[in-house]
Chain A
Amino acid sequence: MSIALHPGRPAPAADQAALLAVEGLRVGAGGFRAVDGVSFGIAPGEILALVGESGSGKTATGRAILGLLPPGLERLEGAIRLEGEDLAQVAPARLRELRGGAIGMVFQEPMVSLNPAMTIGAQLGEALALHSTLSREAQRAACIAMLRRVQIADPEGCLRAYPHEFSGGMRQRIMLAAVMLPKPRLLIADEPTTALDNLAQAEVLDLMVELARENGTAVLLVTHNLGLVARYADRALVMQRGRVVEEGPARQVLTAPRHGYTRLLVSAMPQRLPRPPRAEGEVLLEARGLVVDYPGRARLFRRLPGKRAVKGVDLQIRRGETVALVGGSGSGKTTLGRAMLRLVQPSGGRLLFRGQDVTTGPAREFRLACQIVFQDPYSSLDPRQRVGEIVAEPLRHEPGLSAAARAARVAETFEAVGLPGMDRRFPHQLSGGQRQRVAIARAIVRRPALVVADEPVSALDMTVQKQILELIRRLQEERGFACLFISHDLGAVAEVADCVLVMQDGAIVEQGARDAIFDAPAHPYTRALLDATPRLVP
Chain B
Amino acid sequence: MRLRMNAVLGGTLMALVLGTAVTSFFWTPANPLRIAMRARLNAPSAAHWLGTDEVGRDVVSRLMAGAGTSCLVAALTVLAAVVLGSLIGLLSGFARGWVDRVLMLVNDALLAFPGILLALGLLAVLGASQWGIVAALGLAYTPTVARIVRGAVLSIREREFVEASRSIGNSALYTMWRHVLPGTVSPLIVLATSLFGWAILAESALSFLGLGVPPPAPTWGNMLAAARPYLESAVWLGVAPGACIALTLLGVNLLGDALRDQLDPRSRPQ
A-side residues, CB < 8 A to B, are: 71, 341, 343, 364, 367-368, 371-372, 374-376, 379-382, 384, 393-394, 396-397, 439, 442, 446
Known: A382-B179, A397-B169. A376 touches B160 (CB 8 A): yes
Is B108 an interface position by the 8 A CB rule? no
Q: Give the one of B166, B169, B182 with max A CB within 10 A.
A: B169
Question: Closest CB of chain B to A119's CB: distance in Å?
Answer: 27
Q: Is the CB of B179 within 8 A of A343?
A: no
B168 at the interface (CB under 8 A from A): yes
Taking CB atoms, residues of chain B closer than 8 Å to A446 are: 168
Determine which of A364, A367, A379, A393 lies in contact with B165 in the assembled complex, contact meaning CB atoms within 8 Å: A393
CA distance in complex: A376, B164 (Å):
12
Residues of A within 8 A of B163 (CB): 343, 374, 380
Q: Which residues of A contact B161 (CB under 8 A)?
A: 379-382
Q: Which of A367, A372, A396 contacts B164 (CB 8 A)?
A: A372
Residues facing A in B148-182 (CB within 8 A) are 159-161, 163-170, 179, 182
**A374–B169 touching, CB < 8 Å:** no
Q: Which residues of A contact B270 (CB under 8 A)?
A: 71
Decide yes or no whether B183 CB sits under 8 A from chain A. yes
Among residues of A, the one whose C-beta sits closest to the C-beta of B159 is A379
The CA-CA distance from A201 to B174 in the complex, in Å, is 41
| Contact sample, A vs B, 21 pairs, CB 8 Å cutoff | A343-B163, A343-B167, A364-B169, A367-B169, A368-B169, A371-B167, A372-B167, A374-B163, A380-B160, A380-B163, A381-B161, A382-B165, A382-B179, A396-B169, A396-B170, A397-B168, A397-B169, A397-B170, A439-B164, A442-B164, A442-B168
A72 nearest in chain B by CB position: B270
Once A and B bind, how many residue pairs between them come within 8 Å at the CB atom?
46
A172 to B166, CA, bound (A): 34
Interface size on B, residues (CB 8 A): 15
- The smallest beta-carbon distance between A368 and chain B, in angstroms, is 5
User: For the complex, what is the distance from the CA of A446 to the CA of B182, rounded to whole Å?
Assistant: 25
Chain B residues within 8 Å of A384, by CB: 182-183
- The CA of A341 and the CA of B160, in the complex, are separated in Å by 15
**A374 CA to B160 CA in the complex, in Å?**
7
* A-B CB proximity, top 6 nearest: A380-B160, A394-B168, A379-B160, A382-B161, A71-B270, A397-B169
B167-215 contacts to A (CB < 8 Å) = 167-170, 179, 182-183
Q: How far is the CB of B269 from chain A (nearest CB, A)?
A: 10
With A71-B270, A393-B170 known as contacts, the answer to whether A374 contacts B164 (CB < 8 A) is yes
**A70 nearest CB across to chain B (Å):** 9
Alpha-carbon separation in the docked complex, A367 to B167 (Å): 7
Docked-complex contact B168 and A393, CB < 8 angstroms:
yes
A427 nearest CB across to chain B (Å): 9
B165 neighbours in A (Cβ, 8 Å) = 382, 393
A384 to B182, CA, bound (A): 8
Closest to B162 in A: A382
Chain B residues near A393 (CB-CB < 8 A): 165, 168, 170
Cα distance A383–B237 in the bound complex, in angstroms? 52
Nearest chain-B residue to A384 (Cβ)? Answer: B182
CA distance A336 to B163 in the complex (A): 15
Q: How far is the CB of A63 from chain B (nearest CB, A)?
A: 15
B contact residues around A368 at 8 Å (CB): 169
Chain B positions within 8 Å of A376 at CB level? 160
